[in-house]
Amino acid sequence: MRIHVESAHLVAMIAIALSTALLLAIKFRPATWRGVLVEAVIANVGAILAVLAFEVLTA
């Protein structure tokens, strides 16, 4: 199975990551830069996994 990530997928990843990071920041209110970094990493990994899962399910 080949996964083709196109520009629309990249836009979706960015949108999901930004919205997830915003929701995490509102919920947990990190006080240090490490907390912000952890939330950003979690948001980006979640966005990538969501787009890849959609790609696998629709392929």
pLDDT single digits (tens) 3-50? 777 888 888 888 999 999 888 888 889 999 999 899 889 999 999 899
Residue 32 gets which letter from DSSP? Answer: S
Per-residue tokens: 8: 């629309």
2 against 43, higher pLDDT: 43
Amino acid 7: pLDDT: 84
Alpha carbons 19 and 28: distance in angstroms, whole number: 14
d(CA 48, CA 31): 26
Q: What is the pTM assigned to this prediction? A: 0.78
Which pLDDT score, from 0 to 100, does residue 1 have?
66
For residue 58, pLDDT beyond 90: no
54 pLDDT band, cuts 50/70/90, is confident
Angle at 21 between CA 19 and CA 26, to 5 degrees: 95
